[in-house]
Amino acid sequence: MSKKWVYLFKEGNADMKALLGGKGANLAEMTNIGLPVPQGFTVTTEACSEYHNQSKKLSDDIVSQINNSLKVLEDQCQKKFGDKKNPLLVSVRSGAKISMPGMMDTILNLGLNDETVIGIANETQNERFAYDSYRRFIQMFGDVVQEISKEKFDRVLEATKEKNNYKDDTDLTADDLKEIVFAYKDIIKQETGKEFPLDPMDQLSLAIEAVFRSWNNNRAITYRNKNDIPHDIGTAVNVQSMVYGNMGDDSGTGVAFTRNPATGQKKLFGEFLINAQGEDVVAGIRTPKNIDELNDIMPEVFHQFKDTAELLEKHYKDMQDIEFTIEKRKLYMLQTRTGKRTAAAALRAAVEMEEEGLITKKEALARLDPLSLDQLLHPVFEEKALGQAKKLAEGLPASPGAATGKIYFTAEAVCAASIKGEETLLVRKETSPEDIEGMYATNGILTARGGMTSHAAVVARGMGKCCVAGCENIKVNETEKQFSVNGETFNEGDYISLDGSTGKVYQGSIKTVNPELSGHFGTIMDWADTYRTMKIRTNADTPNDALVAVGFGAEGIGLCRTEHMFFDEKRLPSVRRMILSETKEQRKKALAEILPMQKDDFKGIYLAMEGRPVTVRLLDPPLHEFLPVEEKDIKSLAKDMNVSYEDMVVVINDLKEFNPMLGHRGCRLAITYPEIAEMQTRAIMEAAIEAKEEKGYNIIPEIMIPLVGINEELTYLDKVVRDTAECVKNEKQSNIDYLVGTMMEIPRATLIADEIAETAEFFSFGTNDLTQMTFGFSRDDAGKFITDYKEKGVLTSDPFQTIDVKGVGKLVETGVKLGRKTKPKLKIGVCGEHGGDPKSIYFFYNAGLDYVSCSPFRVPIARLAAAQAAIMDTHK
């Protein structure tokens, strides 16, 4: 038997998303639970791949299965495709496994031509409706299939409206529409050199092929790249009998969410338009009405819809995003899918659904996207500054957050400015899929038109980007690059601020502050902590960073870098003298000047951490980084050190390295100059002893030796550190404990980890350097080609962002296994960028790490990801 390429809606279900696409699978599911779904069938994603493999041709087998299903559809609807009296019209809708809003296009009213349009007019006794449907069809077909810009058609429509002084397109009469149809067909002929295809069968196969082709249009590719969606899964095509929201005042179309997608509040949230079809609501053609008003206009339909929405949410156990159409007071369901929501809404909905008994705590945690929490960890406007700010206008609070920046009026301008490091805001009449790149690049989006479900609003919420939509008081002039409001004009480059949570627009830039983890966020974090087994530490170099991290739930510091302390302006002269010393005595003298400052640094951090564990890494970067480059700075240093300028230049040049990353850095420095390690150890120990004595914190300093690749590097320095530590303990008569361990960041170290663990009391994987050295990719230069690698499929993700499980991961696993062979309880963590990346965290959990350490703002993300790792663990 040949392969099944086409499924009737009643043959599918919600679990078949890979084959039928999300839209098709859910249409099938809704059909099977008895909801009013217009009948139809789905051509599978496999047919899409087949089409591309067969050099963009539909095979005979696929075509014949489509024809057979069309016959079934004709029987079900009691209409005939292309029939002059009783014609069947269909929509052709794309739908991939993962929803890609606005990425691919839909064609409505397919099957109309000069004859069937008359049939429809007669049958419905509504000529206006028939020609309204026809003009829509020609435009969508021209746009999607023949790639003729929508604007060409819009211009004709606008001109007719202007000529007749109409406000809305509902004012167009049947005769106007007939003329428009005529003009549209002309556009098609001019643009393609061919007549508009009148044979419905041709229309259908051209449309299906166009959907398959659109899988590879630039917008779709960009969206997939940004969202890590594979390029080979293909899209399905749904062919569905039409129902009509444009039949008059007792018809309409709308979209609604079962909960508020911006806040998570449990209340039907949506919009509709009377006498409208398809994308009218989303495209911002007329300002839609709030869904609650449907209750006034058609109460029975409203209640039926409300009940259906509730049923769907219970059925799917998640917030739904629903598209519907009303034809002569009869409700039809056209789509349902999991609703995209802001992070705040996701948290609230998850907590409330658990309270409602709809889902368990584990389910609530598992469905949250840890990275999306980032949206909530970013600054909000400072209340005082906000109070003083001048409000310019108020639009819809389409996507929460606070954003400040210079205004730009095109996606290109925004991209160009943000490459230069400018803070930008994108201001447009309304956005369209062509603006995606700019929407990614900007801090926030302001549109003059469109509702809460407009393109700008939906996409911004998905991206977690601040957006104020439908701000009708501002008059945007995209060509002049300006907008005006209340008689004031704002030009490209002017600063304004947007509050996406209130919809308010302010003049100038407004100061922002850090948010707090309270309410639903706090609840989710508490739940996460009960399931998580891995500890979460932070990378912090200052007491302030440490405090922020503790506020976000950090349980210790996994990496305190000491080089930042060396860069401090007041210390730099001593640091430079230390580096350029010719004798050990000179060096010791310079180090003695640095010692009290280092001690204060560490003490500040110990106090901020209130006894939580702190791992301090000894000096790591190549020394030349601390030396002056400017002539005047070199001169002043020369004077300071009592040498000639020329001699100073020679010394500095001597310290330059061809490849500093692989040069004299890390433990190699301390082997050459043990006095540096001695000074740092002394500072760490004295600080801990003082903090303990003053506050009673039981501090056990963890001293970490970086860049070890040879066991003897560690044994040599371990002795230096221990001798110093013991010496300090004696001097201060303290019995404080301390640990000496190492970074695992040189591939060789992971391979001899059993030997290293004989000395080391802990390991911390430095996955940044480990990745750099395993791939042989310079961290500072790889950005340039990793993008190419991703585009050409050489790499699927940036190994500096998400751990490369196959290679670097294997080294981590080897290091853990060998290390614990020697010391079964060896404490092991990770302190690279990967410590804050959810996918990497899942890996570290399975590799058996005790903790991950990440930047302060990543701590809540790591807490949730660590909980998810434990929840997903089936071996526990």
Residues marked as catalytic:
455, 831
**CA-to-CA dists, residue 411 to 436, 445, 753, 827, angstroms:** 8, 11, 51, 49
Token pair belonging to 685: 């120990």
Residues numbered 264 to 323 that lie near Mg ion (CB under 5 A) are 323
Token pair belonging to 375: 């949206």
Phi then psi for residue 90, to 5 deg, are -130, 160
> Which of 95/819 has CB closer to ligand ADP?
95
Residues numbered 75 to 94 that lie near ligand ADP (CB under 6 A) are 91, 93
Contact (Cβ atoms closer than 8 angstroms) between residue 288 and residue 272:
yes
- In the list 323, 555, 718, 833, the residue contacting ligand ADP (rule: CB under 6 A) is 323
The closest of 375, 244, 240, 264 to 313, measured between CA atoms, is 264
Token pair belonging to 625: 């980084």
> Which of 301/704 has CB closer to ligand ADP?
301
Q: Which range in 195-203, 206-214, 333-341, 380-388 contacts Mg ion by CB under 5 A?
A: 333-341
Q: Which range in 221-229, 236-244, 490-498, 746-754 contacts ligand ADP by CB under 6 A?
A: 236-244
Q: Which range in 329-337, 465-473, 582-590, 603-611 contacts Mg ion by CB under 5 A?
A: 329-337
Amino acid identity for residue 111 in this structure: G
Q: Which range in 330-338, 372-380, 571-579, 765-773 contacts Mg ion by CB under 5 A?
A: 330-338
Token pair belonging to 292: 């609650």
Mask for 14-43, x = binds ligand ADP (CB under 6 A):
------------------------x-----
Partner in contact with 93, chosen from ligand ADP, Mg ion, none, beta carbon below 5 to 8 Å by kind: ligand ADP
Burial of 229 (0-12, 13-18, 19+ CB in 10 A): middle
Q: Which range in 24-32, 102-110, 297-305, 458-466 contacts ligand ADP by CB under 6 A?
A: 102-110
Partner in contact with 678, chosen from ligand ADP, Mg ion, none, beta carbon below 5 to 8 Å by kind: none
CB of 279 to Mg ion, least distance (A): 6
Size of the site for ligand ADP (CB under 6 A): 16
Q: Which range in 100-108, 440-448, 711-719, 733-741 contacts ligand ADP by CB under 6 A?
A: 100-108
> Is 868 near Mg ion (CB under 5 A)?
no
Token pair belonging to 672: 């050459």
**CA-to-CA dists, residue 196 to 116, 138, 165, angstroms:** 14, 8, 30
Contact (Cβ atoms closer than 8 angstroms) between residue 271 and residue 256:
yes
Token pair belonging to 392: 């310019």
> Which of 100/498 has CB closer to ligand ADP?
100
CB of 334 to Mg ion, least distance (A): 7
Burial of 518 (0-12, 13-18, 19+ CB in 10 A): exposed
CB of 12 to Mg ion, least distance (A): 17
Partner in contact with 832, chosen from Mg ion, ligand ADP, none, beta carbon below 5 to 8 Å by kind: none
Size of the site for Mg ion (CB under 5 A): 2
CB of 231 to ligand ADP, least distance (A): 19
- List 754's β-bridge partners, or say none: none
- List 469's β-bridge partners, or say none: 396
Q: Which range in 101-109, 365-373, 440-448, 645-653 contacts ligand ADP by CB under 6 A?
A: 101-109
> Which of 323/718 has CB closer to Mg ion?
323
Secondary structure letter of residue 776 according to DSSP? T
3-state SS string for 735-762: CCCCEEEEEECCHHHHHCHHHHCCCCCE
Partner in contact with 539, chosen from Mg ion, ligand ADP, none, beta carbon below 5 to 8 Å by kind: none
The closest of 100, 240, 209, 89 to 146, measured between CA atoms, is 209
Which residues have a Cβ under 8 Å from the Cβ of 272 and sit 6 or more positions away?
252, 253, 254, 255, 256, 281, 288, 289, 291, 294, 326
- In the list 30, 210, 243, 869, the residue contacting ligand ADP (rule: CB under 6 A) is 243
- In the list 110, 183, 334, 676, the residue contacting ligand ADP (rule: CB under 6 A) is 334
> Which of 142/838 has CB closer to ligand ADP?
142
**CA-to-CA dists, residue 757 to 446, 486, 614, 740, 743, angstroms:** 57, 71, 20, 11, 11
Report the distance separating Cα 744 and Cα 798, nearest Å.
21
Contact (Cβ atoms closer than 8 angstroms) between residue 46 and residue 77:
no
Number of neighbouring beta carbons within 10 Å of residue 329: 12
> Which of 278/370 has CB closer to ligand ADP?
278
Q: Do strands 424-428 and 444-447 pair parallel, antiparallel, or not at all (unpaired)?
A: parallel
> Which of 126/240 has CB closer to ligand ADP?
240
CB of 38 to ligand ADP, least distance (A): 5
> Which of 323/769 has CB closer to Mg ion?
323
> Is 242 near ligand ADP (CB under 6 A)?
yes
Partner in contact with 278, chosen from Mg ion, ligand ADP, none, beta carbon below 5 to 8 Å by kind: ligand ADP
> Which of 334/721 has CB closer to ligand ADP?
334
Which residues have a Cβ under 8 Å from the Cβ of 244 and sit 6 or more positions away?
129, 133, 251, 277, 325, 327
> Is 335 near Mg ion (CB under 5 A)?
yes
Report the distance separating Cα 94 and Cα 172, nearest Å.
30
Q: Which residue is closest to Mg ion by CB?
A: 335
Q: Which helix (H) or strand (E) holds 96?
A: strand 90-96
Contact (Cβ atoms closer than 8 angstroms) between residue 69 and residue 8:
yes
Partner in contact with 615, chosen from Mg ion, ligand ADP, none, beta carbon below 5 to 8 Å by kind: none
Partner in contact with 200, chosen from ligand ADP, Mg ion, none, beta carbon below 5 to 8 Å by kind: none
Secondary structure letter of residue 390 according to DSSP? P
Mask for 273-302, x = binds ligand ADP (CB under 6 A):
-----xx-----------------------
The residue ranges that bind ligand ADP (CB under 6 A) are 38, 91, 93, 102, 106, 108, 240, 242-243, 253, 278-279, 323, 325, 334-335
The residue ranges that bind Mg ion (CB under 5 A) are 323, 335
